[in-house]
Amino acid sequence: NDSSTLRKGLMEIDKACSPPPEDYTKEISRRRNFAIISHPDAGKTTLTEKLLLYGGAIHEAGAVKARRAARHATSDWMDLEKQRGISITSTALVFETEGHQVTLLDTPGHQDFGEDTYRTLAAADNAVMLIDAGKGLEPQTRKLFEVCRMRKLPIFTFINKMDRPALEALELLDEIEKEFGLSTHAVNWPIGSGDRFMGLYYRPKDEVHLFEKDQSHGSKEATVCVLSWGNPLLKERIPEDLYQQLEEEIELLDAVAPSLELEKIHEGELTPVFFGSAMNNFGVKLFLDSFLKYAQQPGPHMADVGLIEPNYPEFTGFVFKLQANMDPKHRDKVAFVRVCSGQFTKGMKVQLARTGKQVALTRPQKMFAQDRMTVETGFAGDVIGLNNPNTFAIGDTIYTGTRIVFPGIPSFSPELFSYMRNPNPSKYKQFQKGLTELLGEGAVQVLYSVDSGRTDPILAAVGQLQFEVLQYRMLSEYGVEVQLEPLGYSVARWVTGGWPALQRVGKLYNCATVKDWWGRPVLLFRNEWSVSQLKAESSEIGELAPYALPP
């Protein structure tokens, strides 16, 4: 009877929907949000900062990094953070530019790569794929791209570090097309690379933007000389070989490359491509302007009752991330909520779908770099930080009006596995409490062995740091010194057909059978090769899924 429930739900929503308040529509249409996907070192921190510079949110670059460093000096919250010299916390940065409200969802990116990086993409309407021009596609970008594809997110490609030795621009486009099956449309085109990187050809206007090196080392906006194609000065400014190459390549692109179709961008089938050097501010402004023009405004979200449009007048949203101890002075937890519809107001009362309880959303915050500001109101597309200790779990739906539930956020295929042992039996209670709370927060996934008889929980994560943070927090917050015993597996697959499918195939070799928190069967493999081998030898096992939604 799913369809009649669905119809009933939709009817109620339709009733409530007419007519959508006009100011919602106006607010939604000026909002754009995105997350950057990249491999460490491609320049995400640098690009973030330069986007803030060109977005008018900061006046001099260097501030974000400097503030991050200053925080290391003063923060006492996590010695681990200091030891590793990295930033574990991350934020949603908001800035206003050219009539738009832009939210940059900062995905943790370094050694701290973890499930949060994936989850952040669940809250984004657009992704910026940042690529190092000298390296092309790299592993972390590939993994994150898969999540974008699953969500059909529009992808904007920024090819960075053109001031360094770079692969051929055509070769880079080819790599994206072949490997990701994604059509490309170069919006601008580089003139030279490395020491000879002179500027960009901006195709929509047939203009050449030539960069002038200045003394600010990228802390101020770059000076650019804009000349239209055909201006005789160009031949004086651009060396003959580069000019000729540019002419040929533009001709080729115009002849064979797909045109820029907004619909295809929004379907995640075509990526607009930009070249530049974030460090030198080259190409950042062209990128930001085009991004604002082509990016998708906050869209609808599928819920149990059907699509929730952003201008549905009731407030709805979901928790995509929980973060503990962001502020060293208050050992608190912040739940990050993506607003999907209606209007958020400070102090409003909402229903929490999982528990059916009412929650007052007090002390809501938006983030600007490391600073917090209290938010009074918010609309679809916004990200709001809520301080309601231990109220929320990852994937929670909150709403006003008719009950709706958004599907949870998938557990992404973990790649690291480790038994967690409590060597001190007198700490049993604290151990269980810590494990349950940290699990609810989504700090790691937990699995239990089925075939070995061992009862210690198996921690599963996508990044090593998730383990270290967990170990650290078990000690500092729950007083339990846990021991970790790594397991030699690197791939997990959920058996879609459940236990009956496993029974059908009988004894399995080259993998371990475990169950997830909800008791569903999961197989652990040493590598992808063992997965294919099992599929080939025991096809009756059915589908093996790399991730699973909470039941």
Query: Which spans of this chain sit near ligand G4P (rule: CB under 6 A)?
Result: 38, 40-46, 109-110, 160-161, 163-164, 277-279
Tracing tokens 């499918």 back to the chain, one arrives at: 501
Least CB distance from residue 188 to ligand G4P, whole Å?
Answer: 15
Ranges of H-type helices in 360-460: 428-440
Q: What are phi and psi of 525, to 5 degrees?
A: -125, 160
Tokens of 297: 């405004």
Rounded to the nearest whole angstrom, what is the least distance from the CB of residue 314 to ligand G4P in the complex? 38
Nearest Cα neighbor of 351 from 320, 294, 381, 391 is 391
Residue closer to ligand G4P, measured from CB, 165 or 423: 165
Helix %, strand %, coil % for the chain, to 5? 35, 30, 40
User: From the centroid of its chain, how far is CA 393?
Assistant: 18
Q: Is 189 helix (H, G, I), strand (E, B) or coil?
A: strand
Given the complex with ligand G4P, which of 130 and 208 has the nearer CB atom? 130
Q: Which is nearer to ligand G4P, 160 or 397 (CB)?
A: 160
Q: Which is nearer to ligand G4P, 40 or 440 (CB)?
A: 40
Alpha-carbon distance of 471 to 277, in angstroms, equals 39
**Cβ distance to ligand G4P smaller for residue 282 or 525:** 282
Tell me which residue of 437, 423, 438, 433 sits closest to 483, measured CA to CA.
423
Nearer to ligand G4P, 46 or 445 (CB): 46
CB of 225 to ligand G4P, least distance (A): 20
- DSSP-derived secondary structure for 37-52: E--TTSSHHHHHHHHH
Are 475 and 483 in contact by the 8 Å Cβ rule? The answer is no
How far apart CA 245 and CA 498 sit, in angstroms, is: 58
Rounded to the nearest whole angstrom, what is the least distance from the CB of residue 116 to ligand G4P in the complex? 16
CB of residue 384 to ligand G4P, shortest distance in Å: 25
3-class secondary-structure state, position 335: strand
**Residues near 509 by beta carbon (within 8 Å), at least 6 away in sequence:** none
Strand locations in 235-300, DSSP E? 270-275
Helix, strand or coil, per DSSP, at residue 176: helix
Nearer to ligand G4P, 36 or 393 (CB): 36
Tell me how far, at minimum, the Cβ of 10 lies from ligand G4P, in Å: 43
Tokens describing residue 247: 């002419």
Nearest approach, Cβ of residue 65 and ligand G4P (Å): 6
Pick between residue 192 and residue 395 the one whose CB is nearest to ligand G4P.
192
In the complex, what is the shortest distance from the CB of residue 107 to ligand G4P, in angstroms, rounded to a whole number? 10
